[in-house]
Structure 1
Amino acid sequence: MNGLWMKKGMRICTVMVLLFSILNTHAIRAKSKTEEVNMELYVSLQGSDKDDGSMNRPFRTIMKAQKVIQDMNAIPKGGITVYIREGVYSIDDTLSFTRKDSGEQDAPITYQNYKDEHVCISGGVRLKKSDFTRVNDEGILNRLWDEKVKDKLLQVDLDAAGIEDYGHLSRRGYVHNDAQQVTQMELFVEEQRMTLSRWPNYEKMLWTSIVDQGHILSQGQDVLGGPTLAFDKTFERSKKWMNREDIWMDGILSYDWVWGYNRIQHMDSEKRQVTLTYGTQDGVFDWGETRGVFFQNILEEIDMPGEYYIDRDAKKLYYYPTTAFQESPDPEILLSHANKPLLSLKNCAYMNFKGIVFDGTRSDGIVCHEGDNHHITFEGITVKHIGQTGIVLHGTDIKVLDSDIYNLGSAGVRVNGGDKKTLTSSHNTITNCHIYNVGQIRKGYNPALSMDGVGVVVSHNLIHDTPHMAITVRGNDHFIAYNECYNISQIFRDMGIIYMNLGARPYERGTHIYRNYFHDYWSINDEHDDNNGVYLDNGTQGVLINENIFYRSDVVGIFTHGGGFNTMKNNLFIDVSGPYRDVNFMQTGWGYWIIRNTVKQWAEQKATMDFASMPHAKYDRLVAFYNFDDTYVSEMMSLDSAEDDRPWNKFGGTMQNAQPDNVFKDNVIYNHNNPMLSRHEEGIWRNTGHGTFSAVVSDGNVVMDENPGFVDYDNDDFTLKPDAKVHTLMDNFPNIPFHEMGLYVNENRPSLPASTVGKVKLIVSGHKKKETVILKEGDTFLVSSEVLPKPSVGEKPLIIYRSSNETIAVVDAGGKVTGLSPGFVEITAHSANNMGIYDGHMFRVDKDIQKENEDLNDADSRETTMTSTHEKMDVMSQDRESSVDASNEKKTGFTGTMVSLGILLTIITGGVIFLKRRK
């Protein structure tokens, strides 16, 4: 701007006169003679793009302010702040920024809310409660399975609401997540994602047989012609389903990690068979308790508050309202509508976004595309109600601070940057963020945080409620510290809170996991070894894990699956069933498979990368790792099976560095309320005949029978007292700053959120878990419940009790069960915020025969009655079977059998190595 912006020392009045005479459109503020000049522009829904952008005459759109900045010849020192006034700024297209929108090092461009005003950039359509009307169409009401829903079902005329693009359901799953395919339109009410109508409601059901495997796919294929599966007689309810062209099946058909979403190609309700449209990854087989499916997008199955269905032909949305919808006079109701990212940045620099809410798209929320992005900050923002990933970051010196990211169809934040060849750090940072309810549409491998590149810092975040892992790590030299994670891997097994799978790229190492609080993560089967706190999978190497706290888990703290050079020291394991577990690849059949499939890549890396002359030489023993004999590579590749161990001893002996020692030392283990696993035998590995070297160095670990010295164990305060008992046993055990972990309060985050329920326990006094409670007609029984994590003082999580068959027994809001008629029934306790988190117990209601007999007046009558009563009991016995079937119409349980893998499982405690072969 004629150079005037860059001049210093001029009088304030002169600056004002000159600038207004030249621009006549922009509001500025000169702080003083020696301070930088900072320009301000204003945007308001009450403004006009024909105005000058001053506070009193604001622009109407953000794009107008953007255009004005682009047209400037120079940016004033101190930069430009665009203040956005209160309101919802609806957009149909992406708000895009490029290099020409960038600021400079001493002159950043900032877009932020004005003071504490609520500003939302939205791709959604907001509905009013009055847009919902009662359904009176008998043709629709008669399709419903549940009669009780008929007078509760609401509808919205989407055409009248001006909505034409509803999107469509699409194929997704393991290696089938098409990033270009945006999700369907979804309904959100009062900050909760509503449930697309499904059956069964909360559980999964198993197929009874595999009629036809269909196409079995290899990685990344998508071929028409899926399997045909048969189901039990409860599936006969599908005779009533009408919209068969767009019904989808959600679930796991094979390995735990191979989750998929597949359209129904053909349905035969008489035969109780379903044929899927697409072939399945790895086929269909029994792998474990995570397998099972449910069916979705079925109007007839709306029978649960929060369920909805979109009739694309009739242009109507049907909805069974939640309590929050009904009780609020003006509930927040949103339909995600936009099919593009809300905010896009490419080749941008020195830009800030503060205090803005982004919501309501079927695509990603914010995307920093690959290119030259650097020095970009997102501070105090909210990203929610998104169909795909919340924030995608490529670049360097990008920061996400003090932000809330939740209700996401895919991942929370994906961040990548730095140079893996030169090990130049990205300096990307994710700090003090609350990330939860991720992976709600694409459930597998969509974590709260995905890290790649070099030098990403993830600290002081609170992460919870994820279907799969919380954090995935690729690349080098990342720092994961002071985070709190709980309620992780809620529908998958064989996973970890932090998951690393880097065995094929041993040069990707150097990550430090430090002072994190991992708690309340649970097994989903009876093996108690199916999930982990930190999971270093398939040969991952070179990770330091120290001074972390693992608490309250019936599974494993740290699992090293075949890797080496990993150090685990000075960690606290409190009420964790398995503190540490190790699998030695050189001694297992599974290791044969992994080594055989990775050794070729190691050989290629050895031939093409001179690590001795690269920055990677800084890593301890990495160069030595690649010093293996090339003649063994072809020999390894020629192995026919795990039993063919011709090169094992030679290869293992030569490649000591391929399976080096993991170090587990100076850790403290205290199991007070949760016993440590005791089913692991000592020394089995020495008798297997596969090698002679140990994979683990265990030293100085202490298993304590008494409180190590916590300030308040009963209330989950694991700060160590100055005179803590553990200090008398271990000279150098650190005082881990427990209260510094997780979120912290600052200007952008004035308070901390309450914890969410991760586990519900139904308490049935006087009865064991699988012991049926027997009631007579009219009798009552009081149940109660507990939740984990423990609620904070003053918190009272809402629990909803349900009966699977209200003709047999009912349960009130206080947990009082009343028997009504003979039969079996399941009483369940659910988290009100997530009905899929629940616990249940079986009840049996019997007829009160004694009371009936006392009313009889004579022996003949009594004899006759008793005869008929025995007949009734025979009938009742049959009725019980049908009652069980009826109660399971929307619930099919199953048990799984572990597949024998010949894996040696190792639990390391107190310097002793215990191992177990999985049966």
Structure 2
Amino acid sequence: MQVKNIKYVVLMSGLILLLLFPLWQGEQANSRQGALDSGSNASTPINLYVDASANAQQQNGSQEHPYATIQAARDDLRKRSKPLPSGGATVWVKEGNYQINATLEWTAADSGTVQAPITYRTYSGKKATLSNGTSVNPADWKPLSAEARERVNPAIQPGQLLELDVKKLGFQNIQGFTGGDYFTEKWGILQLIAGDAMQPVSQWPNKDDASAGNRAGWAVASGIVNEKSFYYDDKQNKDTSNLGRMARWQRAIQTGHGVYLQGFWRTVWSPATIRLNEIQPSSRSIHLSETPAGGIGSKFSAVANAATTDNQYRVGDGSEEWRLLNLLEEIDQPGEWAMDFKDGKIYYYPPKPIKEMNTVIADRTDPIIRINGASHLRFIGFELKNGLGNGINVQNSNHITLAGLTIRNMGNGAITDSGGSHNMIQSNTIYDTGSFGISVNKAGNRAKLTAANTRITNNHIYNTGLLVHLEPLIIRESVGLRIDHNLLHDVPKDAIRYTFSNKLLFEYNEVHNTGLVEGDTGAFYTAQDWSSYGNVLRYNMIHHNQRSNGFYADGGSSGNTYQNNIIQDTKRAFIVENGHHNIATGNLLIDTESMEINDRSDSLNYGLNSEYAKLLRGFHPMSGPWKQYGEKLAKQYGMKGNLWSSVLSASWNPQYPNGSKLSNNVLVGGATIKISKKGDVAAQGNVILNTVNEAGFYNYSNLDLRTQNKAILQKFPSLNKVINEIGLYKDQYRSQPVARNQYNGLSNHSAPDSHS
């Protein structure tokens, strides 16, 4: 299905201007992030000024006597008569460091209007930093106590480590992980930032050590004792190198120090972190304090061969990956640290003398900025960093612009937008976050199929999910968003996850190096919804993506149209698991393994009693806007009446992937095409070119995929134009978009440079 481009109106310099969609790539960047700017220094009828070094006795917001805080300028505007004069107001924030000890809040009382928007911004080319962290006095770092010295890894000297008594200093998030003794998507302990970078939590094996498993940073079980215990060594193994390590871990447990393992106990995604109960060196076994959901062992193992005697748990085969996290005993590389919950101390291996480093503790869980119930506000050009929570939370707000921001070193995510509409998230650079990058939830109204008309464009997001493996871009329960020209890479799992949403348009996005930690992922991933029709993914490029799939419609997701995308060096370019009307046409696949439509109805419930059917019925699809939508969709797919009448009919066999097609695609380098034997599915008109040389690309090594090959251009006529439009573009906020060859964007990478 083709979705008409939505014109978004943004407020700039007091005028209502149409934001044109750029159709070119910008100039090359001089740094990995690319150059950001806050745009031209245009004036508005009301102008207030902020300077962190302002004289506290003479503040009135003028250029001569600026306010010292952004809050003071906000309060000044809040007190003024509304509406403001046509053209609105601008708060000019001078470059410098602004310590944020309490969340900056904007509510309905702080709103602008269409004619009079309110802008908070930096000066063009200048950086104003909003930091939520607490600087540490170098004198507070001390040599290790005698007890701690006894625990130090034998590979290093105790004198190389320092300790910080965070309990004595009054920090709060030091008692334990938010998720307790068993968790997947929670972390919640304070973070150490040094040299302006998040420091890696200690781990074993080290992130560059592949000697203990199949890949660097992970060990594998050598066999399973029971549903929550496993062998760390083969019983017959004469190598005793692990005996000393396990003895140290066991002593830590016995003296009350929490020891935690993170493992892919049952699946290759969403690893669970669980506290250890005990280690038995005599049997070379590790015993978890809690049983992983379903027990240790792959959920895909054959039940008949793997069930325990009570038929409750599967037993693993010794391939389960695991690692230890956050323990003094495993600090053995510069930069590593651990938070000891019993001692109330951080232990740290500084890479250089501590007096030469600026160390910061991120301990505040509230966002740096919260916008709740407001409208017609713009925040431009700031750097936000060093918080334990999110950078910016937007709630139930509209016509909010977040542009030209840099958000990094955040313990959780960068930007959330919940319940918003007509918002613009543009030209931001986001990296080094503990969790997600941008998360949008309940934008628009699914029950009424009302579009949010929010746009997410020209953002560069990478190295996210360093603590909790969430995606750089998440969209849930939303309708009518445009997501375009974003560059997403170097992430532990999916790059874009969109679920329970309709009428999303993804175009001109560039994605590479996803799934660097987890398995069974997709660069673009969606799942579990028969009602998710109208999502269009076109003109996107996925490349250098060996550990992940390309476009993944999992678990019954339906109504995705994949048109004129480029998928290179990826496992399965398309994978459709049941669901309906997932159509891939005119796409270019290069050096991929396969594209597939699978049927799992024999093993999983995809029928009329499934959760997918219940969700669709919950929208009352035979009346109101959903009835009209169903009639429109039926006509689009060449069906009679209302689409939902078929989907919810047993005679249509909705348990099968009906209506899904892989048609008129070009497969360069060969790829297997697999389709289900059941259901109304098809793979037709696809062209296979056996080698890259046959394709005649202008410069394949640099991903210049322009070509004069007639077979390719017949299926993808606009390729030579589209290839130069994909990814970041030059605008008033991003003056120098980053180029692939300037940040190692033309190769396959290992895991992000963190404990993940």
Using the size of structure 1 for normalisation, the TM-score is 0.66
1:179-258 equivalent positions in 2, closer than 5 A: 183-202=188-207, 203-213=217-227, 227-232=228-233, 234=242, 237-241=245-249, 242-244=251-253, 245-258=257-270
Q: Identify the residue that residue 304 of structure 2 maps to in structure 1.
A: none
The equivalent position to 1:431 in structure 2, one of 457, 472, 489, is 457
Asked whether the equivalents of residues 414 and 433 of structure 2 are also in contact (C-alpha less than 8 Å), the reply is yes
Deviates more, 1:618-627 or 1:81-90: 618-627
**Match for residue 458 of structure 1 among 469, 475, 483:** 483
How many angstroms apart in 2 are the aligned matches of 1:534 and 1:39?
47
**What is residue 444 of structure 2 aligned with on the other side?**
418
1:618 equivalent in alignment to 2:575: no
Contact 2:161–2:349 under 8 Å retained in 1 = yes
Partners of 2:666 and 2:686 within 8 A in 1: no
The answer as to 2:534 corresponding to 1:534 is no
CA distance in structure 2 between the partners assigned to 1:290 and 1:547 by the alignment: 39
User: Is contact 1:479-1:512 (8 Å) kept?
Assistant: yes
Q: Choose from 538, 544, 568 the match for 1:551.
A: 568
Which AA in structure 2 matches 1:701?
Answer: V
**Deviation string for 1:779-804 (max 9, x for gaps)?**
xxxxxxxx87349xxxxx9xxxxxxx
Query: 1:298: how far off?
Result: 1.3
Q: What displacement does 1:446 show? A: 3.8
User: 1:483 corresponds to which residue?
Assistant: 509
Q: Is the 8 A contact 2:202 2:330 kept in 1?
A: yes
User: Which residue of the other structure, out of 554, 578, 581, is the alignment partner of 1:565?
Assistant: 581
CA contact (8 A) 1:173 1:258 kept: no
C-alpha distance 206-47 of structure 1, shift in aligned 2 (>3 A): same
How high is the sequence identity, in percent, across the aligned residues?
Answer: 22
- Amino acid paired to 2:172: D
Secondary structure, aligned partner of 2:339? strand
Aligned to 1:874: none
Q: Answer yes or no: is 1:63 the counterpart of 2:71.
A: yes
* Alpha-carbon separation, structure 2, partners of 1:194 and 1:290: 30
Q: Does 1:360 align with 2:386?
A: yes
Query: What is the correspondence of 1:81-480 to structure 2 with a 5 Å cutoff?
Result: 81-127=90-136, 130=138, 135=143, 139-156=147-164, 158=166, 162=169, 164-170=171-177, 172=179, 183-202=188-207, 203-213=217-227, 227-232=228-233, 234=242, 237-241=245-249, 242-244=251-253, 245-287=257-299, 291-311=320-340, 316-322=345-351, 331=357, 333-369=359-395, 371=396, 373-394=397-418, 395-416=420-441, 417-443=443-469, 445-474=470-499, 475-480=501-506
Gaps of 5+ in 2: 1-40, 208-216, 234-239, 301-317
Deviations 1:315-354 (A, max 9, x none): 54332234xx57x995554321212111111110000111
Query: Match for 2:48: what amino acid?
Result: E
3-state SS of 1:40 partner: strand
Higher radius of gyration, 1 or 2: 1
Bigger fraction of residues in helix: 1
**Once the 2 structures are TM-superposed, how far is the Cα of residue 133 of structure 1 from its aligned partner?**
6.2
C-alpha separation in 2, matches of 1:205 and 1:700: 42
Q: Does the aligned pair in 2 maintain the 1:120–1:358 contact within 8 Å?
A: yes
Who is 1:902 aligned against?
Answer: none
Aligned partners of 1:243, 1:755: CA distance in 2, in Å?
A: 46
Letter aligned with residue 190 of structure 2: M
- From the superposition, tell whether residues 375 and 335 of structure 1 become closer, same or farther in structure 2 (CA, over 3 Å): same
Report the AA paired with residue 324 of structure 2.
Answer: F
Cα distance in 1, alignment partners of residues 252 and 509 from structure 2: 46
State the partner residue of 1:750: 735
Say if 1:581 and 1:603 are closer, same or farther in 2 by CA, change over 3 A.
Answer: closer
Judge conservation of contact 2:184–2:270 (CA < 8 Å) in 1. no
Q: Deviations over 1:237-290 (max 9, x none)?
A: 232235433221212110223421222344445444444344422222135898
Residue 539 of structure 2 contacts residue 564 of structure 2 at CA under 8 Å; is this kept in 1? yes
1:698 — aligned with what? 684
Q: How far apart in 1 are the matches of 2:514 and 2:298?
A: 24
Shift, 1:836, TM fit: 7.5
Query: How far, CA to CA, are the matches of 2:110 and 2:131 in structure 1?
Result: 21
For the residues of structure 2 that align with 1:628 and 1:552, how far apart are their CA atoms? 38
C-alpha distance in structure 2 between counterparts of 1:290 and 1:469, whole Å: 23
- Distance in 2 separating the partners of 1:236 and 1:338: 38
Query: SS in structure 2 opposite 1:121?
Result: strand
Tell me the TM-score normalised to structure 2 length. Answer: 0.80
Q: Which has the higher contact order (CA 8 A, sep 6+)?
A: 2
Instruction: Report the 3-state secondary structure (helix = DSSP H, G, I; strand = E; otherwise coil) of the residue aligned with 1:67.
Output: helix
Equivalent in the alignment of 1:590: 603
Q: Is the 8 A contact 1:39 1:76 kept in 2?
A: no
Q: Which moved more, 1:591-600 or 1:52-61?
A: 591-600
Instruction: Tell me how far 1:594 sits from its aligned partner.
Output: 6.8
1:194 and 1:656, CA in 2 relative to 1: closer, same or farther beyond 3 A?
closer
In structure 2, relative to structure 1, the CA distance for the partners of 1:731 and 1:157 (3 Å cut) is: closer
* Equivalent residue number for residue 23 of structure 2: none
1:795-853 deviation line (CA, Å, top 9, x unaligned): xx9xxxxxxxxxxxxxxxxxxxxxxxxxxxxxxxx89x72779xxxxxxxxxxxxxxxx
Q: Distance in 2 between matches of 1:350 and 1:388?
A: 26
Partner letter of residue 388 of structure 2?
R
Distance 1:496 1:290 in 2: 22
Structure 1 residues 77 and 746, CA gap change in structure 2 (3 angstroms): same
- 1:661 corresponds in structure 2 to 659
1:601 alignment counterpart:
614
Amino acid aligned to 1:565: H
Deviation at 1:397, TM superposition (A): 0.9
Q: C-alpha separation between the residues in 2 aligned to 1:334 and 1:354?
A: 25
Return the alpha-carbon distance in structure 1 between the equivalents of residues 110 and 446 of structure 2: 29
1:499 corresponds to which of 509, 520, 525: 525
Structure 2 CA distance for partners of 1:477 and 1:437, relative to 1, 3 Å? same
Cα distance, 1:134–1:567 mapped onto 2, change above 3 Å: same
CA distance in 1, matches of 2:619, 2:444: 23
Alignment correspondent of 2:19: none
SS state of the match for residue 698, structure 2? strand
Deviates more, 1:698-707 or 1:80-89: 698-707
Deviation at 1:384, TM superposition (A): 1.2
What is the distance in 2 between the residues matched to 1:290 and 1:102?
56
**Could you say if the C-alpha distance between residues 148 and 704 of structure 1 is closer, same or farther in structure 2, counting changes exceeding 3 Å?**
same
Deviations 1:336-379 (A, max 9, x none): 1212111111110000111111111212221112x3x1000011
Structure-1 separation of matches of 2:348 and 2:53: 32
CA pair 756-265 structure 1, distance change in 2 beyond 3 A: farther
**Which residue of the partner structure matches residue 645 of structure 2?**
627
Amino acid corresponding to residue 284 of structure 1 in structure 2: I
Measure, in 2, the Cα distance between the counterparts of 1:756 and 1:249. Answer: 37
Match of 1:617, SS?
helix
Does structure 2 conserve the Cα–Cα contact (< 8 Å) formed by 1:391 and 1:414?
A: yes
- In 2, Cα distance between the equivalents of 1:754 and 1:299? 40
Residue of structure 2 equivalent to 1:741: 726
1:899 corresponding residue in structure 2? none
Return the alpha-carbon distance in structure 2 between the equivalents of residues 118 and 602 of structure 1: 47
Q: How large is the RMSD of aligned CA atoms in angstroms?
A: 3.6
- Output the CA distance in 1 between the equivalents of 2:331 and 2:463: 23
Query: Contact 1:625–1:658 (CA<8 Å) still a contact in 2?
Result: no
Partner of 2:537 in structure 1? Answer: 513
CA distance in 2, matches of 1:143, 1:183: 25
Q: Secondary structure at the match of 1:745?
A: coil
- How far apart are 1:52 and its partner, in Å? 0.8
Counterpart-to-counterpart distance in 1, 2:724 and 2:55: 46
